[in-house]
Amino acid sequence: MSDSNNWPTWEVFTQKAQGAPHEHAGNVHAPDAELALLNARDVYSRRNEAISLWVVPTESIVASTPEDVGPFFDPANDKMYRSPNFYKTPDGIKQI
Amino acid sequence: MDQVQSSQQLAELEAEFDRKIASGHVIEPKDWMPERYRKQLLRMMSQHAHSEVVGMLPEGNWLTRAPSLMRKAVLLAKIQDEAGHGLYIYSGAETLGTSRVEMNDQLLAGKAKYSSIFNYPSLNWADMGAIGWLVDGAAIVNQTVLAKCSYGPYARAMVRICKEENFHNKQGYQILARMMQGTPAQREMAQDSMNRWWWPSLMMFGPSDKDSPNSADLMKWKVKLHSNDDLRQRFIDRVVPQAEAIGLRIPDDKLKWNPTTRHYEFGEINWDEFNQVISGNGPCNRLRIKQRRDAHENGRWVREAAMAYAAKQNKRTKAA
Ligand SMILES: [Fe+2]
Ligand SMILES: [Fe+2]
């Protein structure tokens, strides 16, 4: 009854409007890139949700892991001087 | 998660998980989760995905007999959306570690559950109205709440689905509204459809919470945010005025507005019937599985051709 082969998954990125970034929408199963694009169109853009589509083999995605969240991102934590709010301006100066 | 954890470690992980849930944290596939949470979600999501897929069958029954080209186009678009809903939810369920092929195999083997409502037959064109209005209407009440559930992939699939459901709901209501303005025979057909779909639609919310074995866990984990009875009441309160507006009678003599509670009171649901249908003895259970198997077998050559083509292209790129 079943098929021995499970089609691989492809991650789908959609661009909503001209000038907007491509954002992750979800994934589709497809045997190849060409059908992945067609499936992505049918699944994620039936109502003009996209004007451009990317499909990427899921296995090509490299992701950070939730367990490492603390140490991985902490180089940013102690650099408050990256924020403009870190700096005090003399009284009376309004626009800087 | 592969290594065996000591019971103390496990208790710590679970306490941390409960804290996350309580603080409104959204759980993602790579996060640690209790095995029972994973199992319950997989059960719910696979059942939900199967329901979207099997749900195409009663409507597919009327595609070739739609009364106009426009109605046919609308119905086709609605059914295509349901296929999409199935795919969004399977894709979300796969993040829990079970492949779509496995889930589909279970469905075809008759081992999987799906919404009991789709085991009822669609007997006339008015049923396309009642399904869109009542069945999708009940699904909307459920899905709007699930869009805020604690598991990210499920919640996101629901957000996407909810955006499309209003079309389903309105096209159904409009079918019945138009028929209710038609000839006596058309009005009778609409009322007949209402009579058949009303009670099964109420059953879609599942048994009363005191008889619903998984409710407590699911509420604690914020997979469920409201009780089955609350959601059923919400649906009834919303739908009764809609029925009245087009002259449809609700087939329940006990139905009446309670001005104190500001809710409708309604009669006893026939839970025996519900239990019969979910245990395989509804009017169409066997037919639905057969239709899914046939569809799967008839599509086999397409899948095989696509695989063969992909393999050939692959070889060519490698050779070049
Ligand atoms: Fe749906
Ligand atoms: Fe729907």
Tell me the domain boundaries of chain A.
3-85
Closest chain A C-alpha to B32 CA, distance in angstroms: 9
d(CA B194, CA B127): 8
Hey, what amino acid is at B7? Answer: S
Distance to chain B for A30, nearest Cα, Å: 9
The position carrying tokens 């669609």 is B122
Find the CB nearest A3 among B157, B160, B303. Answer: B303
User: How many angstroms separate the alpha carbon of residue B179 from the centre of ligand 2?
Assistant: 21
Across the interface, of B77, B108, B313, the residue whose CB is closest to A1 is B108
Q: What is the DSSP letter of A50?
A: -
- % residues pLDDT > 70 (chain A): 95
Separation CA B255–CA B194 (nearest Å): 15
Those residues of chain B that have pLDDT short of 50 are 1-2
For position B213, what pLDDT does the model report? 74
Higher pLDDT, B173 or A68: B173
Q: Which two tokens stand for residue B214?
A: 């998984």
Does the domain at A3-85 match CATH 3.10.20.520? Answer given as yes
Distance CA A56, CA B201 (A): 41
> Which band of pLDDT confidence, cut at 50, 70 and 90, is reported for residue A72?
confident
The partner residues of A28 in beta bridges, in order of sequence, read A10
Task: Return the pLDDT at A69.
Answer: 79
As a whole number of angstroms, the distance between CA B157 and CA B85 comes to 8
Task: Match 């800087």 to its residue by tokens.
Answer: A96
User: Comparing A39-53, A54-68, A77-91, B161-175, which segment has the lowest mean pLDDT?
Assistant: A77-91
For residue B131, give the ligand nearest its CA. Answer: 2
Over residues A72-89, the mean pLDDT reads 85
Distance from CA of B273 to the nearest CA of A (A): 31
Q: For residues A52-72, give the mean pLDDT.
A: 90
* pLDDT tens by residue, B269-290: 999 999 999 999 999 999 999 9
Three-state secondary-structure class, residue B312: helix
Q: Are B14 and B8 in contact (CB under 8 A)?
A: no
Lowest-confidence pick of A28-42, A59-73, B14-28, B216-230: A59-73
Token readout for B64 is: 């070739």
Contact residues on chain A for B104, CB-CB shorter than 8 A: 2
Give residue B228 CA to ligand 1 midpoint distance, Å: 19
The span from the CA of B255 to the CA of B168, in Å, is 26
Supply the angle between the helices B35-54 and B100-108 in degrees, to the nearest 10.
60
What distance in Å separates the CA atoms of residue A66 and residue A41, rounded to the nearest whole number? 31
- Residue among B12, B88, B108, B167 with most chain A CBs within 10 A, to mutate: B88
Q: Do B80 and A26 touch (CB under 8 A)?
A: no
Distances in Å between the Cα of A9 and the Cα atoms of A18, A46, B96 are 27, 20, 15
Contact B89, B48 (CB under 8 A): yes
CB contact under 8 A, B30 and A35: no
For residues B198 and B251, the answer to whether their CB atoms sit within 8 Å is yes
- Name the phi and psi angles at B258, rounded to 5: -105, 105
Q: Does A31 touch chain B (CB under 8 A)?
A: yes
Which of A32, A35, A41, A68 to mutate: most B Cβ within 10 Å?
A32
> Which residues of chain A have a CB within 8 Å of the CB of B101?
2-3, 6
Provide, as residue numbers in chain B, all residues whose Cβ is less than 8 Å from the Cβ of A27.
91
Q: Does the pLDDT at position A1 exceed 50? A: no
Q: What is the DSSP string of B36-83?
A: HHHHHHHHHHHHHHHHHHHTHHHHHTTGGG-SSHHHHHHHHHHHHHHH
Q: Which of A42-46, A78-82, B254-258 shows the lowest per-residue confidence on average (mean pLDDT)?
A: A78-82
| SS3 assignment, position B142 | helix
- Note the pLDDT of residue B211: 78
Is A26 within 8 Å of chain B by CB? yes
Q: Measure B49 CA to ligand 1 centroid, in angstroms.
A: 9
Measured distance CA(B134)–CA(B198) in Å, rounded: 7
What was the pLDDT predicted at B98?
95
- CB contacts of B13 in chain A (<8 Å) are none
> Residues near B250 by Cβ (< 8 Å), separated by ≥ 6?
B194, B198, B240, B243
CA distance A70 to B163: 36
Chain B residue with minimum CA distance to A28: B91
What does B176-228 look like in DSSP terms, one character per residue?
Answer: HHHHHTS-HHHHHHHHHHHHHHHHHHHHTT-S-GGG-TTHHHHHHTTS--S-H
Report the gap between the CA of B312 and the closest CA in chain A (Å).
11
Burial call A24-50: b when 16+ CB within 10 Å, e when fewer: ebbbbbbbbeebbbebbbebbbeeeeb
Q: How many inter-chain contacts (A to B, CB under 8 Å) are there?
A: 58
